[in-house]
Amino acid sequence: MTYVKPQFRHPDAVTNELGCTRKDYEGGLSTLCAGCGHDSISAAIIDACFQLSIEPHKVAKLSGIGCSSKTPAYFLNGSHSFNSVHGRMPSVATGANLANRDLIYIGVSGDGDTASIGMGQFAHVARRNLNMTYIVENNGCYGLTKGQDSATMDTGSANKKGDVNLYSPIDLVRVGIEVGATFVGRSFSGDKAQLVPLIKAALSHRGFALLDVISPCVTFNNHDASTKSYATFRGSNEPMPVDFVPRREAITTSYDAGKVHEVCMHDGSVLRLQKVNKEYDIEDPQSALQAIADHAKEGRVLTGLLYINRDGEELHDVLGTVRRPLNTLTEQELCPGSKFLDSINAGLR
Ligand SMILES: Cc1ncc(C[n+]2csc(CCOP(=O)(O)OP(=O)(O)O)c2C)c(N)n1
Ligand code: SF4
């Protein structure tokens, strides 16, 4: 078996506004199990960045530990990357973002990495509204360490050995809304039509964008007794179709006006949502939480953009940092001088 990707490019390959082909957004060859949902999410990230004509070197990919956290190696070869410690990606992302606000931050985590060891870090990075896209590749288990139940595993769902989970699951989208995430979506690795526009919208959002993506683990959690298998999830999913319109394109309404909700992003791009059967206000956190809970009561998982707050101040606004990235400031600009420091010290006495 070879681990070298062929470099051949089709001469007629479609290019984006930068003149790049989709191949320019790929990464190394995946070593995940064939059919793993995580690979589909990497493909969706590649599509989203290619379609948005993002310059790969303007992206910083960050992750924790897990099969999911390995995936930044499989997309955007030309980007900055940091594979951190289990559950600690948020603090690394916070430090990097504060030092250089001009990069686009994509964090990739697993349900084990986020909902157990990294739960505290996750809550605080969301609460601080750090400007980043945070993707949880949620398979209900710890894939890398051979399939133990994670905290997002549903009560009554069984693992491969047949052990039934007795505990209540943590629903990360509900936690995200409660702690202050300003963009919260859920999708399914197998639903590219919904996932790609959601990632594009998350990348265009100014603030903390959480995407909880159900991503079946074909090796340890893809059997009939699991609620996160391909078959079970397809049956219980209530998808809210989404369509992302970049700001450069003329915005036209192609849907039945009564059934479409348009969300204008900060950069002028538009996210079009086609409503699910029960309408609710996606800009009202209580309304969003109620809709998610109502669907869960009926045994259905609501997917799509579930909540957005377009007026939240991101961390740099709250801290009042200078517009120029801190890592470009000179020592002279960073050091206020002894006179100024003396006056600060005097004010503290
Ligand atoms: C501090 C620490 N504790 C435990 C581990 C062992 N460990 C590695 S990955 C992992 C869980 C991975 O699960 P998840 O984040 O859901 O990712 P998946 O592999 O399912 O994609 C654990 C417990 C570790 N690497 N570091
Ligand atoms: S063990 Fe599961 S999560 Fe890990 S690569 Fe294989 S299928 Fe994916």
10-residue stretch averages of pLDDT, the chain, 349 residues long: 64 92 97 97 98 98 98 98 98 98 98 98 98 98 96 92 93 98 97 96 97 97 90 88 80 57 84 74 95 91 94 96 94 88 93
Which pair of tokens denotes residue 1?
């078996």
* Ligand 1 close to Cβ of residue 303 (< 6 A): no
| Alpha-carbon span 221 to 310, nearest angstrom | 36
CA of 109 to the centre of ligand 1 (A): 10
The strand pair at 260-264 and 237-239 is best described as: unpaired
Q: Mapped to the 3 state alphabet, what secondary structure does 135-201 carry?
A: EEEECCEECCCCCEECCCCCCCCECCCCCECCCCCCCHHHHHHHHCCCEEEEEECCCHHHHHHHHHH
Report how far Cα 223 is from the mean position of its chain's Cα atoms. 26
State which H helix or E strand residue 271 sits in.
strand 270-274
326: DSSP letter: G
Short-list 320, 319, 292, CA closest to 306: 292
* Ligand 1 close to Cβ of residue 150 (< 6 A): yes
CA of 266 to the centre of ligand 1 (A): 35
Helices 172-179, 285-297: inter-axial angle, 10-degree rounding: 160
In a 10 Å sphere around its CB, with 0-12 CB exposed, 13-18 middle and 19+ buried, how is residue 260 labelled?
A: middle
* Ligand 2 close to Cβ of residue 38 (< 6 A): yes
Identity of residue 299 = G
State which H helix or E strand residue 62 sits in.
strand 59-63
| Alpha-carbon span 227 to 324, nearest angstrom | 47
pLDDT tens digits, 257-310: 446 778 888 888 888 887 665 678 999 999 999 999 999 998 889 999 999 999
Looking at residue 336, its pLDDT comes to 81
* Ligand 1 close to Cβ of residue 145 (< 6 A): yes
| Alpha-carbon span 224 to 228, nearest angstrom | 9
Looking at residue 4, its pLDDT comes to 62
Short-list 146, 165, 143, CA closest to 156: 165
Query: Which ligand places an atom closest to the C-alpha of 111?
Result: 1
User: Among 42, 86, 146, which is best to mutate for testing ligand 1, by the most ligand atoms less than 8 A from CB?
Assistant: 86
Q: Give nearest CA residue, ligand 2 atom 5.
A: 32
CA of 284 to the centre of ligand 2 (A): 36
Please provide the distance, in angstroms rounded to a whole number, between the alpha carbons at the two ends of the chain.
69
CA of 322 to the centre of ligand 2 (A): 42
User: Among 32, 70, 139, 150, which is best to mutate for testing ligand 2, by the most ligand atoms less than 8 A from CB?
Assistant: 32
* Ligand 2 close to Cβ of residue 143 (< 6 A): yes
CA of 145 to the centre of ligand 1 (A): 6
Query: Which ligand places an atom closest to the C-alpha of 33?
Result: 2
Other CB atoms within 10 Å distance of the CB of residue 157 = 20
CA of 46 to the centre of ligand 1 (A): 24
In a 10 Å sphere around its CB, with 0-12 CB exposed, 13-18 middle and 19+ buried, how is residue 21 labelled?
A: middle
Which pair of tokens denotes residue 22?
């989709």
Other CB atoms within 10 Å distance of the CB of residue 216 = 29
Which pair of tokens denotes residue 44?
């969706």
Looking at residue 262, its pLDDT comes to 83
Q: Give nearest CA residue, ligand 2 atom 1.
A: 143
State phi, psi for 339 to the nearest 5 degrees: -60, -45
| Alpha-carbon span 35 to 65, nearest angstrom | 20
* Ligand 2 close to Cβ of residue 36 (< 6 A): yes
* Ligand 1 close to Cβ of residue 110 (< 6 A): yes
| SS3 of residue 38 by DSSP | helix
Looking at residue 1, its pLDDT comes to 45
| Alpha-carbon span 221 to 320, nearest angstrom | 46
Which pair of tokens denotes residue 235?
């049956």
Q: Give nearest CA residue, ligand 2 atom 2.
A: 217
* Ligand 1 close to Cβ of residue 244 (< 6 A): no
| Residues 6 or more apart whose Cβ sits within 8 Å of residue 344 | none
Identity of residue 145 = T
